[in-house]
Chain A
Amino acid sequence: MSALLGAATGLDTARVAAEAASTSPGDPWLNIAIFGAFVAITMVIVFRASRNNKTAADYYAAGRSFTGGQNGSAIAGDYLSAASFLGIVGAIAITGYDGFLYSIGFLVAWLVALLLVAELLRNTGRYTMADVLSFRLKQRPVRIAAAITTLVVCFFYLLAQMAGAGGLVSLLLGITDTLGQSLVITVVGGLMILYVLIGGMKGTTWVQIIKAVLLIAGAGVMTVWVLALNGFNFSTLLENAVEVTGNPAILDPGLKYGVSDISKIDFVSLGLALVLGTAALPHVLMRFYTVPTAKEARKSVVWAIWLIGIFYVFTLVLGYGAAALVGPETIAAAPGGANSAAPLLAFALGGPFLLGLISAIAFATILAVVAGLTITAAASFAHDIYASVIKKGKPAAGAEVKVARRTVIVIGVVAILGGIGANGQNVAFLVALAFAVAASANLPTIIYSLFWKRFTTKGALWSMYGGLISAIVLIIFSPVVSGSETSMLKTAEINFAIFPLSNPGIVSIPLAFLLGWIVTILDKTKEDPKKQSEMEVRSLTGVGAEKATQH
């Protein structure tokens, strides 16, 4: 604790936070009240927005009626998960600069979406990623494969978010027993089902927009506050962080990933998955269908890039701010560990009220991200599997949306049960795995089918299944699943970790690109050249693209 005394500015606040952290900081009822207000306001908006939710275009794509600015904010709300807010601030506070490396990967990744994917996807598809992938290839097999990878990515991502909710509950509401935590996870899941069931994509989008505004504004206020305490001098903040932590190395890269050769390669592998995975995340891709034109899709990405970029610069200040004002020992000792850095910093700055606000925003974050994932998975099942494969593209009128709504309930229940089951488990690797699966199973086929004339169905299937299976098999045999106390199995006794890396991307991504290429080259069958012409003309010009629905 003596290191804390060196903090010029954070002496009192740090002590208060340290004492409070032994139980739960702030007032749980205040936190619940602020979150309740968020739920009440968004519910009203969702109800008002959902009056026109009749057709599939309304339910899945919000009638394609959002503007680029609105959709860009919603993308930011969809993308900035609890992992990027709580996780990155905590990672910077404890492991220093290496935490910031995540932020950069998450941001640069958007250039792939902007330059290669967003507009072309908007022009060629209707509701799901599979629409684009199966456009000029054989419908059934490609759609099934794309739906499977969509569901797998959504499931991993969903489970990670719901498990995170459990940790957040103990930190923010002071609920430490498993039953109480399970109850809160159920409430969060129940709310999410309600939003998606009633509001469809429109409701989900509004929840994401409101959450993005709150999150970025909240982080912005805290950033200015932290800088103000340090005379608006970033260098002074860094010096204070070094003084409090007593570790000058937190300013330099290498604290987390520099420990061994394996950890270095591991980070390169993670970086690859982050930068290539984003533009292939199904719940991100689906957002591009909610705007009327490709030009608005482009504007969405531009908005998203600005909002996400500014937010990640905030995380750098907040991370070092948490190190300077709260201190890494206090953070590590608090319930929730590294994830508690941002809430504890809020408490140190603005007392129980700011903590309550940030806690509510954190819950809203989980709610908004989970809602986006659920509607994506439900749309993929109802549109790709039910309507296209089972009903051969001719479902009864209204049946598809009905199936989608039922799927929402099923996924919601699975998410709640999964969240309760995964509560307290080491499943943080699931987010990184979702990015790796998206980059390996989806991205090669998206790029090949948009830009490579010769690409065939066989190539697509080998690339998608090859990428999916290799990423998952490698993770099963990696150190995150077995071999140590900190692995998923939580014991060093069982060890089948024969693959040394925790991130499979560096192997599975090139493998999937290679499979798609080699199998296509060796494939003697040719796809319909007329379909290829149509897809290319439509993707670049927007001919025949779905317009906004009129009400």
Chain B
Amino acid sequence: MGNDALSAETTQPDVDFTAVQASPRFQELRGRHRRFVFPVLAACLVWYLAYVLLAVYAHDFMSTRVFGSVNLAMVLGLAQVVTTFAVTMWYVSYANRRLDPIAAEIRDEIESGAEFDTQAVAR
């Protein structure tokens, strides 16, 4: 085994990470994180790929004038910027409300050195 030291140097040896991982509170945190980031990121990447494919293969469609000389390609390009900003703010608000409190609770309990409650459920 070559797993010793370095990246894990600050590990507290007395922490039973397997028990923490299996605890309802941690499973809730893990679920909340994954249920947000996977579908949202997948949707964003599909939306980006759709935009790229349209720009490359649907010239006539993208060249449709929307107002003045501004065409659909520009509107969709700026829409990509807007959705990127929107998803960023959405994730920040989600993380602040749904991820940070439970992560802080688990972290503080482990780092305080007290016995970690592996049965308690997330509020």
Contacts and interface: CB of A to CB of B under 8 A. Distances in A.
Interface residues of B, number: 64
A138 B2 contact: yes
A476 to B, nearest CB: 25
Interface string A95-111: 00110110111011011
Interface string B59-87: 10011000111110110011011001101
A58 to B, nearest CB: 16
A115 B81 CA distance: 16
Contact of A111 (B3, B11, B34, B88): B88
Interface string B1-43: 1111111111110010110110000100110011011001100
B11 to A, nearest CB: 6
B9 A126 contact: yes
A110 B48 CA distance: 12
B52 A393 contact: no
A125 B92 contact: no
Interface in A5-55: none
Nearest to A264: B56
A135 B8 contact: yes
Nearest to B68: A235
Contacts of B73: 97, 251-253
A237 B56 CA distance: 24
B37 A115 contact: yes
Nearest to A257: B56
A306 B81 CA distance: 9
Nearest to A457: B2
Nearest to A534: B17
Interface in B41-61: 41, 44-45, 48-49, 51-53, 55-57, 59
Given A253-B55, A268-B56, A309-B84, A132 B45 contact: no
A534 B11 contact: yes
Contacts of A541: 26, 29, 103, 106-107, 110
A305 interface: yes
B7 A125 contact: yes
Residue with the greatest number of chain A CB neighbours at <10 A, chosen from B4, B17, B30, B70: B17
Contact of A530 (B18, B37, B92): B18
Contacts of B12: 543-544
Contact of A540 (B33, B57, B111): B33
- Secondary structure of the B side of the interface? helix
A57 B33 CA distance: 29
Given A252-B63, A264-B57, A275-B48, A107 B107 contact: no
A112 interface: yes
A307 to B, nearest CB: 11
Nearest to A383: B6
A155 interface: no
A531 interface: yes
A104 B55 CA distance: 12
Contacts of A116: 37, 41
Given A529-B18, A533-B21, A534-B17, A107 B56 contact: no
Contact of B88 (A125, A305, A313): A305
Given A108-B48, A135-B8, A540-B29, A295 B70 contact: no
Contact of A537 (B1, B26, B62, B81): B26
Nearest to A388: B6
B70 A542 contact: no
Interface string B83-97: 011011101100100
A111 B7 contact: no
A32 B106 CA distance: 55
Interface in A219-246: 233-236, 238-239, 242
A131 B7 contact: yes
Tell me which of B1, B70, B74, B87 has the highest count of chain A C-beta atoms within 10 A of its own C-beta.
Answer: B74
A202 interface: no
Contacts of B45: 108, 112, 275
Interface in A108-148: 108, 110-112, 114-116, 124-126, 131-132, 134-140
A534 B4 CA distance: 13
Contacts of A451: 34
A254 B59 contact: yes
B100 interface: yes
Given A252-B59, A544-B12, A139 B84 contact: no
A271 interface: yes
Give 10 closest A-B pairs by Cβ, nearest first. Answer: A235-B68, A238-B69, A139-B2, A252-B63, A533-B17, A534-B17, A131-B7, A253-B55, A533-B21, A115-B37
Given A112-B41, A546-B10, 14 more contacts: A97-B73, A98-B55, A104-B80, A105-B48, A108-B80, A110-B84, A134-B7, A136-B3, A233-B68, A264-B57, A267-B52, A309-B81, A309-B84, A544-B15
Interface of B: 1-12, 15, 17-18, 20-21, 26, 29-30, 33-34, 36-37, 40-41, 44-45, 48-49, 51-53, 55-57, 59, 62-63, 67-71, 73-74, 77-78, 80-81, 84-85, 87-89, 91-92, 95, 100, 103, 106-107, 110-111
17 contacts: A97-B55, A105-B52, A108-B48, A110-B88, A124-B7, A131-B7, A235-B68, A239-B69, A242-B69, A252-B73, A258-B56, A298-B95, A393-B4, A537-B17, A538-B17, A540-B26, A542-B107
